[in-house]
Structure 1
Amino acid sequence: MCINNVERIESQSHSQSHEPSPTKGTTFLRTCFNGVNTLSGVGILSVPYALSKGGWLGLLLLLLVALLCFYTGILLRRCMDSDPLIKTYPDIGQVAFGRKGRAVISTFMYLELFLVAVAFLIMEGDNLHKLFPKESFDIFGMKIGGKQGFVLATALVVLPTTWLRSLGVLAYVSVGGVIASLILVLAVLWGGVFDGIGFHERGELLDWSGLPTTISLFTFCYCGHAVFPTLCNSMKDKSQFPKVLLVCFILSTISYGSMAILGYLMFGEHLASQVTLNLPAEKISSKIAIFTTLMNPITKYALVIAPIATSVEETFPFRESKMMSFLIRTCLVISTVFVALLVPFFGYVMAFIGAFLSITVSILFPCLCYWKISIGFKKFGVEMMVILVILFIGTFVAITGTYTALTNIVNEVQTK
């Protein structure tokens, strides 16, 4: 796989000059919008479920995860200061650990993107089945159940968007991500206040057994580190990037925390992996929430798949062939459909992504790269001790969360 494609894909809509003029680049406000849009994704659907697994004290974990991911985002910025040629996250890996570092970071990024695309399809199938529970599909004489049929239907809808090779066009399609998240929170709030659901559930203070799932899902919500270097390089004034991160994390945490509290008060221990699945389908507010949820993955699926597709295309002959690109992107969509049908468990898939991939990419790798580039393994001090503690805790949570998620997935597959 040609790892250099990550840089080319991520930088396609930004300036390519190593020394951009002060008049070029995005403003502070525009970068804040892009950053919030990066952090505010499908994770907002699962935060109430995450809180229900860990109890009310899980809100402290949400704040802790946000703080850690903000800190590791700052570490990535410091790594970039060490070399003006660093433009993307894989570049940081190469500066720190050579080609192996670039390859490892890129592999984790590609795998995370692939599984996010899978989660999109699962989510679409679940929510469409919620709206149309009696619907079924007859394909070549085979009767396919609602969820599976809707996954296939969603794949057919998004497939043509993956054939577009211009990320500039696709980027404009998904600019409504921040507004969609706000509408979703307001629709859920409306359901609790005006549609008779109420806020009567008390919930638990703490559930130790559910904490690995809680932390894994919360980490997934803040897994925007792969894009942070690109956002930084797109700015007119890169020195303001730490302030951008602060604004983005504060706004995202307010959004996630609000949704978690609302959902837990409304449905308590009965929360599904997606809060929209708990909403009464006949209510207008519920339909707005579900339709808003449905639009987000459809508009972002192609953007998620594009870096993987371009990287695979570079390994084949006739890489400029439109037919080859068509076949590769179609096969990628088919592979995500296969995984979505095989493991149709949104909450557990999200928990696995959060534990195995998001903790690694958003917490462990930034600490290791910064340690290697800026501190050095032979220098001891307070900062080194802080990083060692983060690495230890992050590794423990990643192992525990990954084991828990995989165990839950295997149990569900066996009982399916």
Structure 2
Amino acid sequence: MDIPGSKGRTSDEGVPRIRNIHPSQLSYGATSSGHQDSYYDEEAPTGLTRSITGGSFSDRLGSFVTSYSRTSMNFMAENLSVPHSSSLEDYMSSYSGYRRLSNDGQQSILTRYETTKSNSSHFERPSIYFSQLDQVLSRQSTMADVQSLLAAHNEDASSTTMAPLAPVKKSSFAQSTFNSINILMGIGIIALPMGFKCAGWVIGMSVFVFCLGLTNYTAKLLAQCLDKDPDSRTYGDLGALTFGVHGRIGITLLFITELITSSVALVVLLGDGIDALFPGFSVEQIRLISFFILTPMLFLPVRHLSYTSLLGIISAFSILGVVVVDGVSKQDAPGSLLTPADTSLWPVDWMKVPLSFGLIMAAFAGGAVFPTVYRDMANPKQYGTMVNYSYLATAIIYFGVATSGYLMFGSQTMQEITQNLVTIPEYNQALNRLAVWLIAMNPIAKYGLTLNPVNLTWQLWLYRTPKMEQFCQDHAWVEPSVSVIGKMMVSAGIILLAWIIPGFDKIMGLLGAFFSFVISGIFPLVCHLYLFGDSLSPWTKLIDYILLIISVIMATSGTIVSFL
């Protein structure tokens, strides 16, 4: 199966032209608006974009969105395990730019590459591989897609006339900050007031500060761990460095399980939005409607889905704005910031305190993407500052929503703050419905992105054997048919899980207590302690162990409560 346009067509610059690739995915050339693309210099002291010709506001905005799109696709490709295949293995062994990471029979789609430096610009080989990444991830991608792409580059590598190498496309400091904020600001924001309700002010604020500080600290630890082995790029690489063969497999299984759980949360959130906007449907009808709305998202290209990433930041800011406007527009409780509702300094029900661990920590999920953000930065030396700015912006929005929501509704705070807003008739209903619409649009925007690695994983494993690959080549209808049916079955399974576990607070509690604590807290601490060992100072080692013990206790108790 050939990748369309992968060979035989070149631009004026001699770089193969790829069909259906957004101009932002090309490492060299002109943007869709006709302006020359910008490039990034790792040597630059600020790490900011040095634009060749400048551009309009839409061009600048587009560069931010496409930077996030590239980061999203790289993250999926780097953390997706490809099963062992003889043709893949032969190619990998024949091309020196790629090397195996471990002997576990698996490797990521984005394997290691060697870089060379010419003058002040950095170049990568083969650059077109990264340009075609969107093609592999945006269609009914299977093992045959990956093999065809690699085979095409094998021909290029053995050819005596190589195309000019293209500058590496990297993200500026501002773009990396935007990507990080967009990653951190998820749907967990609407459950934060519920987290404060379960914990009370004292414990709620303590947990909030702890989760904020923990994930900020571990995000920086990840960069240190990656620098231990310059070839490491992903959580999977760190898992292999720390735990060996089984580390990579464990990380992959953890990611897949987290993505499935996140997809269930998206379905529940969409269902709650439908119920709020169009009341009168039963749970079964809402789940069926959700299936028909969300399933088509699995067939859209990743590059298109990534453009909807702006909804994350827009909805987060809008929720804060709506909550504050509603709160100051009403004089009496409940639902007023001028006359706050009755709140509790300490938990009313101590058995629900562990649930708050997950609800609050879920808002700070996204640590798994920070290795990709770090490797994508034009100036990695600014990574620590970038993380601080990202967490500062996120903390302000999160803290504003959490405290305002709890002050306004107190003991009546619901699992989603948007559910409270629609119950107050004195509010500006048009404004509140806009906020609910934005929240409801988030699942539609993120459902395809979230399940893409899951679908690509089962396809890669299904077509791993030579006999299956040959059968698909002999019968062209098999592969697309199986892909369509398989994706619909995966979506149906997610909808079924959302029907069995309808509570948004329980799902978010599980996501935060187990997955967020393990991925964003426990794993980076264990990795740091293992890779650096005796080289750490006693004070640093003590901090790591204290944070690790607290994280394990909170993760364990929160996970147990989320199942009760």
Q: Say whether the fold is shared (TM-score over 0.5).
A: yes
**SS of the counterpart of 2:180?**
helix
Structure 1, unmatched stretches of 5+, are 137-144, 408-416
CA contact (8 A) 1:356 1:398 kept: yes
Instruction: Tell me the equivalent position of 1:198.
Output: 336
Q: So what's the TM-score if we normalise by structure 2?
A: 0.66
> 1:373 Cα shift?
1.4
Question: Can you list the C-alpha shifts for 1:265-306, whole angstroms capped at 9, x where unaligned?
Answer: 111011111001111356122211111110111101111111
Secondary structure of 2:310's partner? Answer: coil
- Match for residue 398 of structure 2? 256
- Deviation digits for residues 107-158 of structure 1, max 9, x if unmatched? 1121111111100111111121122222x3xxxxxxxx1x332222122112
1:391 aligns with 2:548: yes
- After superposing the two structures, state which structure 1 stretch, 181-190 or 45-54, moved more: 181-190
2:454 matched residue in structure 1: 308
* Residues 395 and 18 (structure 1), Cα distance of their counterparts in 2 relative to 1, 3 Å cut: farther
* Correspondent of 2:432 among 269, 286, 299: 286
Residues 51-72 of structure 1, C-alpha deviations (whole Å, 9 max, x = no match) = 1111112123211110011111
Structure 1 residues 285 and 349: alpha-carbon distance in aligned structure 2, compared to 1, 3 A threshold: same
Instruction: Name the aligned partner's letter for residue 155 of structure 1.
Output: F
Alignment-derived partner of residue 50 in structure 2: none
In percent, how many aligned pairs have the same letter?
27
Q: Identify which of 26, 29, 33 aligns with 2:174.
A: 29
**How far apart, CA to CA, are the structure 2 residues paired with 1:130 and 1:176?**
19
Name the CA shift for 1:374/1:119 in 2 (closer, same or farther; >3 Å): same
CA–CA distance in structure 2, aligned partners of residues 103 and 9 of structure 1? 10
Q: Which amino acid aligns with 1:381?
A: P
Q: Report the alpha carbon displacement of residue 348 of structure 1 after superposing the two structures with TM.
A: 1.0
Residue 152 (str. 1) matches residue 294 (str. 2) = no
Once residues 6 and 214 of structure 1 are traced to their aligned partners in structure 2, the CA distance between those partners, rounded to angstroms, is 33
Deviation at residue 327 of structure 1 after TM alignment: 2.4
CA deviation after TM superposition for structure 1 residue 179, in Å? 1.6
Change (3 A) 1:30 1:5: closer
CA contact (8 A) 2:270 2:441 kept: no
Q: Distance in 2 between matches of 1:379 and 1:198?
A: 50
Taking the aligned partners of 1:246 and 1:379, their CA distance within structure 2 comes to: 23
Moved more, 274-283 or 36-45: 274-283
Output the TM-score relative to the length of structure 1. Answer: 0.88
**Does 2:413 align with 1:271?**
yes
- Partners of 2:513 and 2:394 in 1: CA distance: 20
Q: Secondary structure at the match of 2:367?
A: coil
Q: Which residue of 2 aligns with 1:39?
A: 184
Contact in 2 for aligned 1:52/1:271 (Cα 8 Å): yes
Q: Counterpart of 1:153 in structure 2: which amino acid?
A: I
Provide Cα deviations, 1:148-188, integer angstroms capped at 9, x if missing partner: 32222122112111123x32222112233212210121112
Aligned-partner Cα distance in 2 for 1:169–1:233: 23
Separation in structure 1 between the aligned mates of residue 458 and residue 438 of structure 2, nearest angstrom = 32
The reply on whether 1:53 has 2:193 as its aligned counterpart is: no
Equivalent residue, structure 2, for 1:327: 485
User: Relative to 1, partners in 2 of residues 1:81 and 1:151: Cα closer, same or farther, differing over 3 Å?
Assistant: same
1:227–1:18: structure 2 CA closer, same or farther, 3 Å change rule? farther
Largest Rg, 1 or 2: 2
Indicate the residue corresponding to 1:97 in structure 2: 243
Give the distance between the partners of 1:9 and 1:292, measured in 2 at CA.
30
Q: How far is 1:383 from its partner?
A: 1.7
Partner Cα distance (1:362, 1:386) in 2: 16
Count of paired positions: 392
Gaps of 5+ in 2: 1-74, 82-107, 117-121, 124-166, 473-478
Residues 1:79 and 2:225 aligned together: yes
